[in-house]
C-alpha cells in the first residue's frame, strides 16, 4: 500500500514591522501609515501604534517567496492602495475592505516607482525593466508602455493634472512624456550620477531632483493653457524675463542648485502637502528639511542678498562706489528683484535618526503645534514619527515592540505550545504563536540559543558573551545572569528528566547544570537559577549539543566536522561520526533514540544509526548551509532549514524529500516543532517568524515528485522561450510606445480556453445545421445540445469564455490567437454589439484584432464585408452608449445643484470665502512690507545726503 503523508501549509508570519526594500506612505486621511512587511502591507494606526489591517496576496503556485516582496506602495485620494512587487506585478487594494480588487501584469522586473494622478483614475509605474506603464485604474487595464530609458526607472511624477509625466532613471536623464500623444517631449541631462528621486510641489511651480551629486537640482515648470500655449508660473515669469515661450516642447527649465550637507547619495525628495517644506532623505541617517518661502519672503530675501552684495562691493571700491552702489540698489532691489533658488529654498534643520533611514513620508494632516509630521522607516525594522517645529524636531513616537531589531537567532516553543521565545542581538521576545502577537520584550545580551524550563514559568538563554540569562516569563524580566563559559554559549539542551540542562561553548567545554530556586537577600520571593554539576572538556569548539530522549547518550558536534557521542551517565566516549566535509551546524536525535540526523555547512544532511554509528544515508538537502534540523516527536520524519530560504520535510526511513515550503525572503536560521507536530515555527534573517500548520490534506511522494518535475520543466521552457527562441530586444527608440501587458501563464490559459470554446461552438453549429437539414428532409429527430456548453447557445458560450479573461490580459490573450481563430472570433462580434454591457468589450476586441491582423484582413476576401459591417455597427453603438453616459452625468449634476439649493447649510461656501480672505490678507501684508522697505531706503538715502528725513 502506498504511504500517505499530511501536508504542511503556510499559516502566519509575524515579527516584521517594515522591510527596507519598499517605501512607506500615508493614506489620504493621514490617520494610517502604509508600510511594506515583506510580501504583506501593514496598515498602522499612527496614534495607537497598532496594525489595524494587513493586506496580503493569496498564495499561488507560480509566485512564491522573495518574488512576492513588496517593492513600492502608492495611495490615491480615495481609499485605493497600489502595491508593486518584485516579480513585476501590481495589485490594487481597497483599504477599507482589505481586499485585492485586481492584479495588473506588465513589468518583467521589480516595480520601483508608483504614482497616482490627482483624481486617482490613472496609475503610472516604473520598473527595473527600464519601462514605464500607464494603467487605467477604473478599467483595470494597461493603456500603453513608454520606452526610452536605458536603465532602471527610479521615480516618476504627474504634471498638468495628469496630462504629462516626468520620469527619472539611473541612466542620469529626466524624460517628460506627453500622455495624450504618447511621446517623449523633452529629455533633460546634466546630472553626473544616477537620479534617485524627483518630486513637484502641490502648486506645480518647481520640480526637484535628487541624485548622487552633492547638490539638489531645481527646475521651473511651464504649464499648458486651454488654448494649447505654454506659460511659466506667475512668480517665475517675474523671475525669468527671458523664459523661451516660443519653444513649446520645453516644459522644464533649470532654475538652480542647492548644495547638500551630506555626502551620501539622495534616496528620497518629497514636498509636504501644503508645499512649505521639502525633505531630502539621504542613504544614511539624516534628513535635510528645507523651508519653501512664499513670494513676499523670497523677494525680501533677494533684496537683502542684493544689498549685502552691493555693500561688500562698495566697501572695496571706496566711498564713490558706495554712492553708486546704493543708487543701483534702489534700481535693482525694487519691487521685482532677481530671485534665485536660494531665495526660495532655505535649509530649516537636519533630522538625525539612530539607524540608517530606508524611507520617509509626510503626513497629509498638519497638527496645530508643528509645521508638519514626518514618518521614517529605519532599516532595523522600526517606524518613527517626528514633529517638525519652527526651531527643532521632536520625536513623537515609535513602533518597535512588534519585531526584532536584527536577525532572529533562535526560536523555542514551550511544552504546551502556547508560548514562543525568540532571541536576537539585544532582546528576547515572548510571542503567542497562534495570533503572532508579541507578549513580552526583555532586554538581554546577544542570545544564540534558549529553552523553556519545565513548567513554562522560566526560560534560559545562552548568550554570545558566555552568560546564561534566566527570564521570568510572566513578568518579562531577567531574574539572574550566570557567568557560565569563557566563550559564547553555542547550544543548549534540556536533560530528559527535566531537572537540568547542558550547554556547549566555544571555550571547548560542555557543562551540566541543575535547576535551583534561590532567594536573594532583601527579596521576598524566590527565583530560578542553576549551578554547574559536572563538565566535559573537548579538544575543539563545541557547536551543537543534543541529549537523547531516553537519557542514554549525549551527542556533541565539534569544529573539526565530527560528531562525538558519549554515555550521559559516565561521560565515557561511545562513537565518533565522521563524514561531513564542513562544520556540523545542527543535529537532533529521534524520540526512540535510534536515529541521529545532522546538518552541515556542506549542504548535506546525514542520517546516522546510534546503535553502531553507521551512516544510513547522506542527502543533498539545500542549496546553502543547513542551519536547523528537528525531528517530529514520536516519528522518523524531520524538518530542515537552510540558507537557501527553504524549509524541507523529510522521511528518515525512506530517505525521501516529502515537501518543500517556500516563503522566507532571507536565509532561515532556526526552527522549532510543536510536541504534537501539528505546526512548526521558523525564524529568518529577514526578521520574520513563520508558522506552518499541518492540514488534513493527504499527499503521496510520487505525486509531489511529478509536481516538482513539472514546475522545473515549466520554468525551463519559459526561460528557453524568452531567451533562446524569442527575438532579441534591441534598444528602444527615443520615446517608443508598446503594449502594456506581458505574457503569463494566465494569458496562455485564457487563449487556450477561447480556442477550445470556438472549436466547440463550431462543432455545435455544424450539428445544428445538420439537424435542420434532416428536419427539412422529413427525418424528424430530437436535438440534444452539448452538455459541456452548459445550456448556452454557441455565440453565448464563446462570449462567456471571452468575458472570463481579465481586462488587463485581453491584449496578450488575443495576441496568441492564430489568424484563423481571430477571423472566426470576428464573425461573432456583430451578434454581441446589441448587448448593452458588452459594447466596450466588443470595441476593445475589434480594435486589437484589427491592429494585429490588419495586412491579412485586407488580403482575405471573406473578411472585408465583415470588417465593413462591424465599422458601421460599432460606431453607432459606441455613440449611443456615450450619449447615455453624457445624459446621466448632466442629470446627476442638475440633481446636485437642486440639492445644494435646497440645503440650509450655513457654512456651504465657507471654504471659498476663507481662501478669498486669506489671499486679500496676503496681498495687504506684501503691500505693507514693500512700503516699509521703500521708507527705509528713502531714509537711508536722506541720511547719506545729509538732509533731514522730514524735509
pLDDT of 848 > 90? The answer is no
- The sheet with strand 509-518 has its strands ordered as 489-494, 500-505, 509-518, 527-537
Q: Collapsing DSSP states into helix, strand and coil, what is residue 11? A: strand
Q: What is the pLDDT of residue 62?
A: 46
pLDDT at residue 26 is higher than 90: yes
- In angstroms, the CA 497 to CA 917 distance is 82
pLDDT at 408 over 50: yes
245-254, 689-698, 875-884: range with lowest mean pLDDT: 245-254
| Residue 302 confidence (pLDDT) | 87
Among 392-401, 622-631, 923-932, which is the least confidently predicted range?
923-932
**Residue of 738 and 320 predicted with greater confidence:** 738
Lookup: cell for 904: 440650509
Average pLDDT estimate for 339-367: 91
pLDDT at 418: 94
The Cα 548–Cα 566 span in angstroms is: 11
More confident site: 7 or 774 = 7
Given pLDDT bands bounded at 50, 70 and 90, which one contains residue 5? very high
What CA–CA distances, in Å, run from 131 to 38, 154, 663, 815?
Answer: 24, 11, 28, 20
**Res. 97: pLDDT tops 90:** no
Task: Output the pLDDT for position 946.
Answer: 56
Q: Classify residue 612 by its DSSP letter.
A: T
Closest CA to 215 of 157, 173, 175, 262: 262
Q: How far is Cα 484 from Cα 529, in angstroms, rounded to an integer?
A: 12
Sort 740 into a burial class: Cβ within 10 Å, 0-12 / 13-18 / 19+. buried
What's the whole-number mean pLDDT along residues 524-529? 84
Contact predicate 641/660, CB 8 Å: no
* pLDDT for 951: 33
User: How confident is the model at residue 1, as a pLDDT?
Assistant: 64
Listed in sequence order, the residues at least 6 apart from 620 whose beta carbon sits closer than 8 Å to its beta carbon are: 603, 604
Half-sphere exposure of 389 toward its Cβ, with a 13 Å CA cutoff? 8
DSSP string over 620-683: E--SS-EEEEEEPTTSSEEEEEETTS-EEEEETTTTEEEEEE---SS-EEEEEE-TTSSEEEEE
- pLDDT given at position 716: 63
* Strand 345-352 with 357-362, pairing: unpaired
pLDDT cut 90: percent of the chain above it: 51
Q: Grid coordinates standing for 874?
A: 460599432
212's CB contacts (< 8 A; 6+ apart) are 192, 193, 194, 196, 265, 266
Rounded mean pLDDT, 716-744: 60
- Among 229-238, 292-301, 435-444, the range with the most confident prediction by mean pLDDT is 435-444
Segment among 125-129, 300-304, 520-524, 663-667 with least mean pLDDT: 520-524
Beta-strand relationship, 24-26 and 70-75: unpaired
What grid cell was written down for 846? 475589434
Q: Provide the pLDDT for residue 334.
A: 54
Reading the block at residue 2, the C-alpha cell is: 502506498
Strand-pair category, 410-413 with 252-259: unpaired
* pLDDT digit string, tens, across residues 710-728: 888 776 655 544 544 444 4
- Model pLDDT for residues 123-175, shown as the tens digit of each residue: 999 999 999 999 999 888 899 999 999 999 999 999 877 789 999 999 999 99
Contact assessment for residue 333 and residue 322, using Cβ atoms and an 8 Å cutoff: no
pTM score > 0.85 for this model?
A: no
What confidence category does residue 427 fall into, taking pLDDT thresholds of 50, 70 and 90? very high
- Residue 17 confidence class, pLDDT cut points 50, 70, 90: very high
pLDDT, the chain, mean: 86
Residue 751 CB partners (closer than 8 Å, separation 6+): 813, 814, 816, 817
pLDDT at 245 over 50: no
Amino acid at each position: 500500500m502506498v504511504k500517505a503523508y499530511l501536508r504542511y501549509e503556510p499559516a502566519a508570519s509575524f515579527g516584521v514591522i517594515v522591510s527596507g526594500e519598499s517605501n512607506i506612505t500615508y493614506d489620504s486621511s493621514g490617520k494610517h501609515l502604509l508600510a511594506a512587511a515583506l510580501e504583506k502591507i501593514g496598515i498602522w494606526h499612527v496614534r495607537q501604534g497598532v496594525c489595524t489591517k494587513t493586506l496580503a496576496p493569496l498564495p499561488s503556485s507560480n509566485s512564491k517567496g522573495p518574488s512576492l516582496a513588496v517593492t513600492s506602495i502608492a495611495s490615491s485620494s480615495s481609499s485605493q492602495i497600489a502595491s508593486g512587487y518584485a516579480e513585476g506585478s501590481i495589485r490594487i487594494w481597497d483599504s477599507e475592505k482589505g481586499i485585492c480588487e485586481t492584479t495588473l501584469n506588465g513589468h518583467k522586473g521589480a516595480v520601483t516607482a508608483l504614482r497616482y494622478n490627482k483624481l486617482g483614475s490613472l496609475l503610472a509605474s516604473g520598473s527595473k525593466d527600464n519601462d514605464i506603464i500607464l494603467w487605467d485604474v477604473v478599467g483595470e487595464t494597461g493603456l500603453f508602455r513608454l520606452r526610452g530609458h536605458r536603465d532602471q526607472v527610479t521615480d516618476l511624477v504627474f504634471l498638468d493634472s495628469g496630462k504629462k509625466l516626468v520620469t527619472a532613471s539611473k541612466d542620469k536623464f529626466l524624460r517628460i512624456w506627453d500622455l495624450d500623444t504618447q511621446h517623449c517631449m523633452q529629455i533633460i541631462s546634466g546630472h553626473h550620477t544616477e537620479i534617485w528621486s524627483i518630486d513637484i510641489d502641490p502648486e506645480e511651480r518647481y520640480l526637484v531632483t535628487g541624485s548622487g551629486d552633492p547638490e539638489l537640482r531645481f527646475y521651473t515648470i511651464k504649464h499648458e493653457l486651454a488654448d494649447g500655449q505654454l506659460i511659466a508660473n506667475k512668480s517665475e515669469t517675474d523671475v525669468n524675463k527671458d523664459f523661451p515661450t516660443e519653444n513649446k516642447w520645453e516644459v522644464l527649465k533649470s532654475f538652480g542648485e542647492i548644495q547638500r550637507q551630506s555626502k551620501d547619495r539622495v534616496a528620497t525628495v518629497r514636498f509636504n502637502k501644503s508645499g512649505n517644506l521639502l525633505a531630502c532623505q539621504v542613504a544614511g541617517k539624516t534628513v535635510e528639511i528645507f523651508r519653501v518661502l512664499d513670494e513676499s519672503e523670497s523677494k525680501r530675501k533677494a533684496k537683502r542678498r542684493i544689498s549685502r552684495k552691493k555693500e561688500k562691493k562698495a566697501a572695496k571700491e571706496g566711498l564713490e562706489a558706495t554712492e553708486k552702489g546704493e543708487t543701483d540698489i534702489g534700481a535693482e532691489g525694487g519691487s521685482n528683484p532677481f530671485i534665485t533658488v536660494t531665495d526660495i529654498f532655505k535649509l530649516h534643520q537636519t533630522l538625525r535618526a539612530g539607524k540608517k533611514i530606508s524611507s520617509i513620508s509626510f503626513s497629509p494632516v498638519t497638527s496645530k503645534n508643528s509645521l508638519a509630521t514626518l514618518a521614517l522607516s529605519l532599516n532595523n525594522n522600526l517606524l518613527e514619527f517626528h514633529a517638525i517645529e519652527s526651531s527643532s524636531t521632536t520625536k513623537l513616537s515609535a513602533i518597535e515592540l512588534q519585531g526584532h531589531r536584527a536577525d532572529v537567532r533562535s526560536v523555542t516553543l514551550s511544552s504546551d505550545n502556547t508560548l514562543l521565545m525568540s532571541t536576537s542581538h539585544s532582546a528576547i521576545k515572548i510571542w503567542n504563536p497562534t495570533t503572532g502577537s508579541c507578549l513580552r520584550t526583555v532586554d538581554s545580551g546577544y542570545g544564540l540559543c534558549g529553552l523553556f524550563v519545565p513548567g513554562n514559568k522560566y526560560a534560559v538563554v545562552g548568550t554570545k558573551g558566555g552568560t546564561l540569562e534566566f527570564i521570568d516569563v510572566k513578568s518579562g524580566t531577567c531574574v539572574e545572569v550566570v557567568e557560565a563559559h569563557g566563550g559564547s554559549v553555542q547550544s543548549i539542551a534540556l536533560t530528559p528528566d527535566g531537572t537540568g540542562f547542558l550547554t556547549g561553548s566555544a571555550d571547548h567545554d560542555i557543562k551540566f547544570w541543575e535547576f535551583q530556586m534561590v532567594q536573594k537577600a532583601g527579596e521576598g520571593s524566590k527565583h530560578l537559577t542553576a549551578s554547574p554539576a559536572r563538565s566535559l572538556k573537548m579538544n575543539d569548539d563545541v557547536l551543537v549539543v543534543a541529549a537523547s530522549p531516553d537519557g542514554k547518550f549525549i551527542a556533541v558536534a565539534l569544529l573539526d566536522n565530527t560528531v562525538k557521542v558519549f554515555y550521559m551517565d559516565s561521560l565515557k566516549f561511545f562513537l565518533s561520526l565522521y563524514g561531513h566535509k564542513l562544520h556540523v551546524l545542527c543535529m537532533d536525535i529521534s524520540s526512540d533514540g535510534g536515529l541521529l540526523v545532522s546538518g552541515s555547512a556542506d549542504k548535506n544532511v546525514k542520517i546516522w544509526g546510534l546503535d553502531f554509528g553507521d551512516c544510513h544515508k547522506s542527502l543533498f538537502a539545500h542549496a546553502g548551509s543547513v542551519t536547523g534540523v528537528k525531528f517530529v516527536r514520536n516519528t522518523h520524519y524531520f524538518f530542515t532549514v537552510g540558507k537557501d530560504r527553504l524549509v524541507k520535510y523529510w522521511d528518515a526511513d525512506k530517505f525521501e524529500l516529502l515537501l518543500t515550503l517556500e516563503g522566507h525572503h532571507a536565509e532561515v536560521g532556526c526552527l522549532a516543532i510543536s510536541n504534537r507536530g501539528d505546526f512548526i515555527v521558523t525564524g529568518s534573517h529577514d526578521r520574520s517568524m513563520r508558522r506552518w500548520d499541518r492540514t488534513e490534506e493527504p499527499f503521496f511522494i510520487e505525486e509531489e515528485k511529478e509536481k516538482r518535475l513539472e514546475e522545473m520543466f515549466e520554468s525551463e521552457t519559459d526561460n528557453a522561450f524568452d531567451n533562446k527562441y524569442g527575438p532579441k530586444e534591441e534598444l528602444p527608440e527615443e520615446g517608443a510606445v508598446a503594449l502594456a501587458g506581458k505574457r503569463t501563464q494566465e494569458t496562455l490559459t485564457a487563449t487556450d480556453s477561447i480556442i477550445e470554446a470556438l472549436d466547440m461552438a463550431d462543432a455545435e453549429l455544424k450539428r445544428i445545421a445538420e439537424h435542420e437539414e434532416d428536419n427539412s428532409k422529413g427525418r424528424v429527430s430530437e436535438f440534444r445540445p452539448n452538455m459541456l456548453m452548459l445550456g448556452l447557445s454557441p455565440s453565448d458560450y464563446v462570449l462567456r469564455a471571452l468575458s472570463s479573461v481579465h481586462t488587463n490580459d485581453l491584449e496578450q490573450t488575443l495576441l496568441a490567437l492564430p489568424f484563423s481563430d481571430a477571423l472566426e472570433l470576428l464573425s461573432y462580434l456583430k451578434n454581441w454589439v446589441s448587448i448593452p454591457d458588452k459594447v466596450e468589450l466588443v470595441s476593445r476586441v475589434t480594435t486589437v484584432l484589427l491592429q494585429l491582423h490588419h495586412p491579412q484582413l485586407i488580403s482575405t476576401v471573406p473578411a472585408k464585408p465583415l470588417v465593413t459591417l462591424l465599422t458601421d455597427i460599432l460606431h453607432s453603438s459606441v455613440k449611443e452608449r456615450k450619449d447615455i453616459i453624457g445624459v446621466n452625468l448632466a442629470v446627476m449634476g442638475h440633481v446636485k445643484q437642486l440639492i445644494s439649493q435646497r440645503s440650509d447649510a450655513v457654512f456651504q461656501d465657507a471654504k471659498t470665502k476663507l481662501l478669498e480672505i486669506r489671499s486679500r490678507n496676503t496681498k495687504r501684508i506684501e503691500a505693507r512690507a514693500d512700503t516699509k522697505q521703500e521708507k527705509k531706503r528713502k531714509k537711508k538715502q536722506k541720511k547719506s545726503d545729509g538732509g533731514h528725513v522730514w524735509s
